[in-house]
Chains A and B, each alone.
Chain A
Amino acid sequence: MTVPTMIAQREVFGRTLVELADADPRLLVLDGDLANSTKADIFAEAHPDRFLAMGIAEQNMAGVAAGLATLGFVPWISTFAAFAVKRDLDQVRVVIAQPSLNVKIAGAYSGLLTGFTGKTHQSVEDIAVMRAMPNMVVLAPADGPETHAAMVAAHAHGGPVYLRLARDPSPRIFDDGLAFVIGRGIVLREGRDIAIISTGVHTARAAEACDLLAADGLRPYHLHLPTIKPLDEDAVVRAAERTGAVLVTEEHTVIGGLGGAVAEALGQRRPTLLRLHGIRDVFGESGPNDAILAKYGLTPRHIAEEARLLLGQPRP
């Protein structure tokens, strides 16, 4: 087996901001005093005049971004996902989402793997919260190349976008230069026995789980959904039709995230044997990544086990 290349989404984030800004003078970056964590510092060094330090004041930052957007700028808000989504939630709602202003919200350090900072800095409910917000597009790319492509698409989109990013290096899945279409899922593996649906960097773990299942002689289908909203419902329905059993797995609470979105779609369009796997309605804790993934049941082995449990269930 070849060892996959590891790429940190935050590095790609910083570099892509520079690239986008080189091509588009409207782009500005607003930072909540975390640029050396989020890697917005790469941008700050390349474009100091377009890097707006906003201090540790996220509510104001969201409002400033809205004001800038009304003048035709395309502001990118950069801070940790935990704060980008919840610390300024009402501001995002009233001055960004309601007027549908062209603001990009980059949530760094999403999920549980936040570098030994624990539950205050982890973001287990950001997809659910942002997905419920009218006008908001919600993206969670799987790896470095897809982060780049998603940012290009997000920047080109004329309204608010929430971009869910991870801190630590994760396995490369896609080649550079892939096309990213907002609202389109990607089938990573064809199979007939069970469909596994995943998003974000967790897709790499789901892909490994598929390998484990295949080693057991099963034929899993794997659908990656880098856009959680608008959901690629057709792709979800197709996955259900192909396999008759769907496992959704995500590094996010099982309530209201990707699993919720898939359940809503299948429940209405094609009721299917379904299992939702993720963080089980709990907050996290600090610790090494491996230990966190093991304790919260998010390793490839856990995903494969969930798949077997689902396959053991009688089909309706």
Chain B
Amino acid sequence: MRPAGRDAEGRVPATPSIEELRTIAREIRRLVLTSVHHAGAGHLGGPLSAADMLAALYFHFLRLDPARPDWPDRDHFILSKGHSAIGLYATLALRGYVPVDELRTFDAIGSRLQGHPDMTATPGVDMSTGSLGQGLSPGVGMAIGAKLKGASFRTWVMLGDGEMQEGQVWEALEVAARYRLDNLIAVIDHNRLPQYTWPDFGQRGREFPVQNLAGKCAAFGWRVLACDGHDMDAIVRTFDGATRPDGRPTAVIAHTVKGKGVSFMEGAFAWHAKPLDDEALTRALEEIDAQTGLSAPPAGASR
């Protein structure tokens, strides 16, 4: 059986339909759950919140060739929220970079699939991440480098809204705007929950690591787009807009739900990272499999 989304030649896939992308996202979620269950450790909330966007990126937007992970003209992708590594690995496996079976080695000693993305270990990983707030800067370097080389590839960076608290991100936003990096796209997974969150400061509540992300990114000179990060139609439309350059770097603020797809994980910071026992895995997979693919917009998402 060839992995979903790949054409018979196994190279650049026929562009899948929206419905196929939804199926791929569901498959990513399944693999995240089964891999974390098998490893006995790992992050769940972040990978589940990013799954739909990873599906759209790797099966629709990124120009790449799994047979040549180092192809210089490939679109580059950096998972700045590196703790969501298993989401990326599941996607890379479905896309043909590593065997799907290899996901069972996630976090095992000697594995190519390290706890956080390691560009020296995994084919298809363009930058090592895991210390939050660091991924956008190498993305800026890749985007500057593409311009210096006259290369046409784009660089995509996925960030968590929690890691937007790191000062380095704002350094990178500033420099990216100054260099007019219209070949750089930051996707912000705005699930409003980091790991432990803030104490309840009343008005601000426990969540929302950084207030007014859209306004702040715009003030730093970025074009800002927003979408529901679980609505595949909206993701494809918005990412498509992001690839039409207007002289500025683009931030896509994707409104998401942490733990999306598994009711008892959704919006629950306790499921940020937690081993998954047999019973919880069974319940979670039942829920994923029951989904029709038509995902509801997250509660409170501004459209």
Contact = CB atoms under 8 A, between A and B. Distances in A.
B74 to A, nearest CB: 11
Given A59-B137, A94-B134, A95-B138, A70 B168 contact: no
B58 to A, nearest CB: 19
Contacts of A72: 72
A70 B167 contact: no
B120 A100 contact: yes
Chain A residues touching B, majority SS: helix
B20 to A, nearest CB: 31
Contacts of A68: 141-142, 144-145
Nearest to A60: B171
A207 to B, nearest CB: 41
Interface in A95-112: 95, 98-100
Given A98-B128, A99-B128, A67 B140 contact: yes
Contacts of B137: 59-64, 66-67, 91, 95
A55 interface: yes
A90 interface: yes
Interface in B168-194: 168, 171-172, 174-175, 178
B72 A94 contact: no
Interface string A43-86: 00000011010110101111111111111110100000000000
A57 B174 contact: yes
Given A55-B175, A94-B128, A67 B134 contact: no
B175 A54 contact: yes
Looking at chain A, what size class is its interface with the partner chain? 20 to 34
Given A55-B175, A67-B138, A70-B119, A60 B127 contact: no
Nearest to A98: B128
Contacts of B174: 55, 57
Contact of B131 (A57, A65, A90): A90
A111 B146 CA distance: 37
Nearest to A50: B148
B163 interface: no
B221 interface: no
A28 to B, nearest CB: 8
A303 B140 CA distance: 47
A58 to B, nearest CB: 9
Given A55-B175, A71-B146, A64 B167 contact: no
Interface in A196-210: none
A69 B105 CA distance: 29
B149 interface: yes
A288 B126 CA distance: 48
Contacts of A55: 171, 174-175, 178
Contacts of A95: 127-129, 134, 137-138
B136 interface: yes
A296 to B, nearest CB: 33
Interface string B124-164: 00111111001111111111111011000001000000000
Nearest to A57: B171
B111 to A, nearest CB: 16
A72 B151 CA distance: 13
Given A57-B175, A94-B128, A94-B129, A64 B141 contact: yes
A51 to B, nearest CB: 12
Nearest to A71: B145
Chain B residues touching A, majority SS: helix
Nearest to B172: A60
Contact of A67 (B118, B120, B139, B167): B139
Nearest to B157: A67
B144 A59 contact: no
B175 A60 contact: yes
Contacts of A52: 144
Contacts of B120: 98-100
A67 B183 CA distance: 14
Nearest to B130: A94
Contact of A64 (B118, B128, B144): B144
A63 B134 contact: yes
Nearest to A75: B141
A49 to B, nearest CB: 8
A313 B170 CA distance: 57
B189 to A, nearest CB: 19
Which of A28, A67, A90 has the most chain B CB atoms inside 10 A of its CB? A67
Contact of A70 (B126, B171, B175): B126
A5 B249 CA distance: 51
A221 B156 CA distance: 57
Contacts of A91: 131, 134, 137, 168
Contacts of A60: 137, 140, 168, 171-172, 175
A63 B172 CA distance: 9
A94 to B, nearest CB: 5
A68 B179 CA distance: 14
Contacts of A28: 148
Nearest to A63: B137
B175 A94 contact: no
A64 B175 contact: yes
Interface of A: 28, 49-50, 52, 54-55, 57, 59-73, 75, 90-91, 93-95, 98-100
Given A69-B141, A71-B149, A99-B120, 20 more contacts: A55-B175, A59-B134, A61-B137, A63-B138, A64-B137, A64-B138, A66-B137, A68-B145, A70-B127, A71-B72, A71-B142, A73-B145, A90-B131, A91-B131, A95-B138, A98-B118, A98-B120, A98-B128, A99-B127, A100-B120
A-B pairs with lowest CB-CB distance, top 10: A67-B141, A63-B137, A67-B138, A60-B171, A57-B171, A64-B141, A71-B145, A59-B168, A68-B141, A67-B142
